[in-house]
Amino acid sequence: MKATMVFAMMVVGAVAVTPGSASAASCESLRTLGLPHTAIATATLVPAGPFQAPGTPAPAPVMLPEHCRVAATLTPSSDSRIEMEVWMPADNWNGKFEAVGNGGWAGVITYVGPQAIPRNMAFALAEGYATASTDTGHVNDGTQGRFAVGHPEKLTDFAYRAVHEMTLASKAIIAAFYGTGPRLSYWNGCSTGGRQALIEAQRFPEDFDGIVAGAPANFWTHLTAGIVAAAQATHQGQPGNVPMDKLRLLHDSVVRACDALDGVRDGLLQDPTRCSFDVKQLACKGSDIASCLTPAQVAAAQDMYGGTKRSQSQEQVYPGLAFGSELGWDPVNGLQPLPIAESYFKDVVLQDSSWDYTRFNVDSDVAKADAAHAALMNATDPNLRPFFARGGKLIQYHGWNDQQISPFNSVNYYKSVEAKLGRDEVGKSYRLFMAPGMMHCGGGDGPNQFNAMAALERWREANVAPTQILATHVANGAVDNARPLCPYPQVAVYNGAGSAKDAASFTCKAP
Ligand SMILES: [Ca+2]
């Protein structure tokens, strides 16, 4: 009864539970917690020790502190079966909740991850957070949308409902376990987790106090179109295919032309938008040799940079990739399309098992996708005012060398929010950090290790807006480069003295 009341208070956002005002429950007793359309299957106090994520051949188990592990199934619709887990530290809880996002089509709980970006449950728990993740209502490896065929409720769960329901249930479970709900709740995700981040900010502004949105797949219907179209332009066996040795030629040529524009020859383009490399410079003068691109390859590369356009109006459907990202094109966008994107059109939009990306029609297929799913799956609403009005803070980041989701999509969304709400209002609550040389949610030549969460917490909890975020590049276990990431549109500019591998040698400045 008490738990149900706590849940109800959570739902209306009128929580005023102070520590000690309610009694904590044992972990095992949470098994019988009564929550709406929620079945709790497991509530176990897990001793400190190694954890091996189910179904993953992780090379080594991660060590977890003692925690209360709750596994639940949520059924907000008759066709829903949303699996979720909440892990709550037995000792030294920091009083906060950090929910972590998914990748691709989700389908697995984000227990662990190869690195701190994007975050995972194990990482959040070790830092003292109560943490949660969901499979979003279906089981797969994250690459296929077939689960949605004939199951519109499951697509809705994936689109937005699962993360919201998980958040409500998590807060109630946390409140029951500790006797008090989280004093602050945060979302942290990248890629699909970034889409989930923005969908939460847009649709459920009361769910989180702060949100980290990494490389968001928020323009889903057009992102997937862009990926399929890029593959169509460059696919293997077609004259436009650019093999890896020529991608390296292209990359080296771009870097040679544009590296020094930012004042430092370091192999990184601090601001790829300043680069205006003309691919035609590499066009073969005669026969196709290793040091040149054929006309079809030139055209394909131009398509990769230029993005996807409608065939008649030339209206941009989805932006292209940035100068400097070339080494990531193969195999991600170059040979075959990401199955995430192909499966979306084949299975979910067109529902034609014989379809493949070579049949993609940029005009009719994007129109079908938008008609069916733009309102459901896209997280492009620029009106973040309700989230900001509650004191919500949003930090978005995106690698300039992202090879899967165009970095310009993040710039476009940020600008759309500025256009909607005005620069002053946006600056108080939302900042975008572009990471030079970083690939999709991590990796790459540029500094790609940084703690957006800490910057977000300082902003939300101490009212210190992030003027920069320190990023490092790690190789062989050691930091070999450090540089500030700057709030867009600022760029890290070399001071003219000091090591270019030292963050103190750079200052964030407006271009
Ligand atoms: Ca440079």
Inform me whether the pLDDT recorded for 58 exceeds 70: no
Active site residues per annotation: 191, 402, 440
Q: Of 207, 272, 213, which is closest to residue 430 (Cα–Cα)? A: 213
Domain 183-218+379-470 has CATH 3.40.50.970: no
β-strand partners of 45: 68
pLDDT-based confidence at residue 330 (cuts at 50, 70, 90): confident
pLDDT given for residue 22 in this prediction: 52
Query: What is the Å distance from ligand 1's center to 417 Cα?
Result: 30
Ligand 1 centroid distance, CA of 257 (Å): 10
Contacts of 507 (CB under 8 A, 6+ apart): 484, 492, 493, 495
CB 118 within 8 A of CB 212: no
pLDDT tens column, 483-492: 999 999 999 9
pLDDT tens by residue, 134-150:
999 999 888 899 999 99
Protein residues with C-beta less than 5 angstroms from the ion ligand 1:
259, 262, 264, 266, 268
Give the C-alpha separation, 390 to 504, whole Å: 35
For residues 140 and 473, what is the distance between their CA atoms, to the nearest angstrom? 32
Would you tell me the crossing angle of helices 364-377 and 220-234 to the nearest 10 degrees? 150
Interval between CA 214 and ligand 1 midpoint (Å): 23
Bond from prior residue into 339 cis (ω within 30 degrees of 0): no
Kindly give the distance from the C-alpha atom of residue 32 to the centroid of ligand 1, in angstroms, as a whole number.
58
Q: Count the Cβ atoms, other than its own, within 10 Å of residue 428.
A: 14
Q: What is the pTM of this model?
A: 0.94
Checking DSSP bridges between strand 82-89 and strand 67-74, what pairing results, if any? antiparallel
Q: What is the pLDDT of residue 236?
A: 67
On average, the pLDDT of the chain sits at 92
Please name the residue ranges forming H helices in 160-267: 162-178, 192-203, 220-234, 244-258
CA 438 to centroid of ligand 1, rounded, Å: 13
Indicate the domain borders of the chain.
1-180, 183-218+379-470, 222-376
pLDDT in tens, 232-280: 888 767 788 898 899 999 999 999 999 999 999 999 999 999 999 999 9
CA of 118 from ligand 1 middle (Å) equals 26
Instruction: Supply the DSSP symbol for 145.
Output: -
- Tokens in use for 178? 């500790």
Residue (of 154, 120, 106, 151) closest to 51 by Cα position? 120
**Between these two residues, 288 and 80, which has the higher pLDDT value?**
80
Report CA(58)–ligand 1 centroid distance (Å): 36
pLDDT value for 331: 59
3-state class (DSSP) for residue 50: strand
